[in-house]
Amino acid sequence: MRRNNDKCQFEPHTLFGVKILMASFVLAGTVLTSCRPNAYLPNTIHTPLLKEKGEIRATLNTSNVQLAYAVTENIGIMANGQYSTMRQTTTSGNEAEKDVSTQTVGEIGVGYFSPFGANGVFEVYSGGGYGQVHIHSTLTGSAVRDYDRTLNTFATKFFLQPSLGFSNTPFDLAFTPRITGMIYGNRTLDGYPVDELTKNSILASDGLDKLEGLHMFFEPGLTFRVGFKWVKLQTQVFYVGQFIGEKTTYIPLQIHFGLHVNIANRHME
């Protein structure tokens, strides 16, 4: 059971042997999620900013792979894959609790885009997908009872996202207020003591008793890209706020980095 004097820290993610840790994630996670496992891990907002038929846009980072294609002069399709993991450790005296939250989601979408002016783009996409949330928690050094427990649930996801953007050779900039829905179900538990399941105290203390049914989130974000016509570096910042469903756990401030590739006929000229 977590107490007010518990110490919480996020463990660095490792990519190609390099430890990556962002201060903003640590601050947001520690203050706003109270060291509880994160049940919802938002994926990068896919903002392709397509401008012509046959154009391809792809975005890649450590947790997301996203691809968009312009079927016509105004219709685009997209596919997104996500595998996100968040690790955190809570300590109190000799006790150490480790939580690992993993979210895997695949989704597809279709939308309308319309270039305007010299560099402006308006687009709106809608789609959905299916995924899984897995949370693994362990406690060691307890004077009462150590444990090793897991929670697994499946989720149907849907989204709606309009964007207003600016796109030219060296820069892309877009504002996207995304609405995301997650419908959780088929929850399974392992390693929870029978007495604790009856009282539901462990699930309630972790906020995981709320991980059922429909949860909806409002996620306004800014996407900025800089580089060359074929490839750009992407930075995205967005806020996550839940407005439907029982309150669950997530990190409200999201900062994502990635690599963006653009293949278009206009770049051949």
Number of domains in the chain: 1
Residue 203 is part of which domain span?
7-264
Assigned domain for 1 exists: no
> What φ, ψ does residue 82 adopt, rounded to 5°?
-135, 135
202 — pLDDT class (breaks 50, 70, 90):
low
- Which position has the higher pLDDT, 127 or 193? 127
Class of residue 160 by CB neighbours under 10 A (exposed 0-12, middle 13-18, buried 19+): middle
Q: Is the dihedral of CA 14, 17, 23, 24 positive or negative?
A: negative
Q: Which residues of 5-40 are buried (b: 16+ CB within 10 A; e: fewer)?
A: eeebebeebeeeeeeeeeeebeebbbeebbbbbbbb
Question: 15: which residues sit within 8 A by CB, 6+ positions away?
Answer: 62
Alpha-carbon Rg of the chain, whole angstroms? 20
Assigned domain for 150 exists: yes
> What pLDDT, on a 0 to 100 scale, did the predictor assign at position 144?
72
Domain containing 119 — which CATH number?
Answer: 2.40.128
Assigned domain for 269 exists: no
- Which position has the higher pLDDT, 84 or 205? 84
Q: Within 10 Å of residue 181's Cβ, how many Cβ atoms? A: 17
- Of 177, 162, 167, 165, which Cα lies nearest the Cα of 232? 167
> What pLDDT, on a 0 to 100 scale, did the predictor assign at position 6?
56
Tell how strand 231-239 and strand 147-167 pair up: unpaired
Q: Average pLDDT over the chain, rounded to whole? A: 84
34 — pLDDT class (breaks 50, 70, 90):
very low
> What φ, ψ does residue 206 adopt, rounded to 5°?
-90, -5
Assigned domain for 202 exists: yes
Assigned domain for 2 exists: no
Token code pair at residue 60: 């890649």
Tell me the pLDDT tens digit for each residue of 95-152: 888 889 999 999 999 999 999 999 999 999 999 999 999 989 888 887 777 888 898 9
> What pLDDT, on a 0 to 100 scale, did the predictor assign at position 151?
87
Tell me the pLDDT tens digit for each residue of 170-189: 999 999 999 999 999 888 88
Q: What is the pTM of this model?
A: 0.83
Spatial contact of 140 and 119, defined as CB atoms under 8 Å apart: no
Q: Which residues of 119-128 are buried (b: 16+ CB within 10 A; e: fewer)?
A: bebebebebe
